[in-house]
Structure formats: structure tokens, C-alpha cells
Amino acid sequence: MMHERPDGSLVEVDVSIPSQARRVVLLENGLGTPHEYWDWVCGALPADVGYVRFNRPGYGLSTPDTKYGLEPHFELLQELRDTYAGGLPLVLAGHSLGGYLVAAYASLHPDATKGVTHVVMIDATEVVSLRHSRRTDVDRWSHQSMLMEQAFAATGLSVFRPAMNVNKQYRPEINRSYTAFLATPRTWATSYREYRDAMTYPELADLDCPLTVVTAENNAGDNARHHGIQARLAVISDRARHHFVDGSDHESLLAVQQHAEEVTELIVGEPPSERLGESWQPSTKSRQDAEGVAEREREPR
């Protein structure tokens, strides 16, 4: 489905708002990923929850944008929200760079939190750490990798060795669509532009609505450092939780059905109502299940 903007440009969207919907989830993709990345999450949503997912300008069939910075993106989020959410309570959820973008919208855009019941940042980008990586080996490798993937896409080689979704754990039609997305040179040109833009984005300091930070257990780099960076994201709200998904990595949080369903439970579940506090410990589903068993064992029989 194509959404036409006031300036005539198009945005590729996938919208499902059931007649009985009581709220809507607006889903924001990560760097270099299509809206199909949310397929398992959308399939696990309850019948009374609608969703809006989309490809940012330059990705998929969406018209490339010539505007830089956060404000044009905030305008797009507001436009999609006004057009499709119909005034229903809204959950903002984003993965990777998308996690930062939805939180930045809620934090920085005027009146954005009105009607927003919950923000969910899923293994989100922390822009200060990203900025500090500038001109390091990590930055040089990221730059080189995106240039290589653009060249592979232009020559058709990426069809045989996709950079992401390598285990193809989505439904077959989603896997095919995802591979075609990665085989488009514009995908990687847009990714590189977003990567550089993100280094100029401001640190988020205050979010006036409930926040859940979801973190992958396993990271490609230093796990302890990654977990610490993720923990810092949760302090921007005084109603927050930090949840680890056992056995997951950055991609499998959404690409593996079991992990995606756990993420969905956090998206549609009761938002946190208290700050993390000094005795904070990140939650996991396995810990919650164990606590539930222990509680049942203490009940009188």
C-alpha cells in the first residue's frame, strides 16, 4: 500500500486496524531493514490491537527524501499517526535506529506524547556511543561494509549471500521480499546516509511516558558494554523497565518467532508504572516464569 504525502511523494505502508481495535502500534524499522521485519510481531498482536508499519524514504518503494535531520521524520510519523491511527491510544515501538527515532519523536516533538501509552525501544541505537565511534575501526568497518553491500547489490551477488536474515526464519514470502530489499543498491545508500545522520542526533534525556527497553542477550561486540549502554536508555523515563530476551541477538529479536512473540508481549502488555530504582535488575521471561512457579508453590493447597 502506498501513502501519498502532501508534496506528492510516496511512502510504502502496511496498515491493519481491525474494527474492534482499542489501540494501535506504530512500528519503526531499524537501519537497512524493511517493514516486513515486523512480520512475526504483527502476527502475534491480539485481535484488538492494530498496527502501522512503513518504509522510511529511500527504502523499498518509498520516495527518497532530500531533507535531513529529525524534524522531517517527526512530520512523517505525525502524518502516519493522524492518517491511520484514528485517535486511538498509540504504542510507539522501534528496533535499532528505529528505537531511537520513536523515542526521539515522543521526547522532542511538540505534544507527541498526547495519546501515547507506551514507548518500546528494542535493542535501540544509543547515539552518543555511535558518535564516539566516529573514525574508529568500528566506524571504518561499518562504512566499508555498506559500500561493499551496495556493490554486491548492484552486481546481483547479494541475492546469493544476503547481509541480513541469513537464517531465513520468516515465512517464505517474507524471506523472498527481504532478499529483494537487500539486493537493491538504494537500500545501502540510504543506510549509509542514515548512519551518518544518526551521529548528529541529540542524546535523549527526558521522556514523559512509560518506557520499556528490550535488550538482546548476545551482541556482536562487547556484551557487558552493550548491556550497560542499553541500561542507560531506560533512565530517560520515570516509568521504565529493562527486559532481556534470553538467547537472542540484535537481529533474532524480531527474526526468530519465539523471540518476536516475547517482544510482542512487552509491546501489548501493561506499561511500567515506576522508575527503575537503585535495586534495579533487568527482567527476563525465564526469571518471570520461575517467579510465577515459586509464587504458585507458596500458595496454600
Residue of 141, 124, 133 whose CA lies nearest to 229: 124
Calculate ∠ Cα 222-274-272, nearest 5°.
75
Residue of 155, 177, 173 whose CA lies nearest to 164: 177
Q: Which three cell numbers stand for residue 272?
A: 511500567
The alpha carbon of 83 is separated from its chain's Cα centroid by a whole number of angstroms, namely 21
What would the mean pLDDT of 173-189 be, rounded to a whole number?
A: 94
Whole-model pTM?
0.92
Res 224: pLDDT: 86
Q: What is the DSSP letter of 295?
A: H
User: Which residues of 89-146 form beta strands (DSSP E)?
Assistant: 90-95, 116-122
Res 291: pLDDT: 52
What would the mean pLDDT of 147-151 be, rounded to a whole number?
A: 86
Q: Which three cell numbers stand for residue 212?
A: 520499556
pLDDT tens digits, residue range 85-138?
999 999 999 999 999 999 999 999 999 999 999 999 999 999 998 888 888 887
The model's confidence at residue 203, banded by pLDDT at 50, 70 and 90, is: very high
Whether the pLDDT of residue 167 is over 80: the answer is no
Higher pLDDT, 235 or 156: 235
Whether the pLDDT of residue 296 is over 80: the answer is no
Which amino acid, one-letter code, is at 78? Q
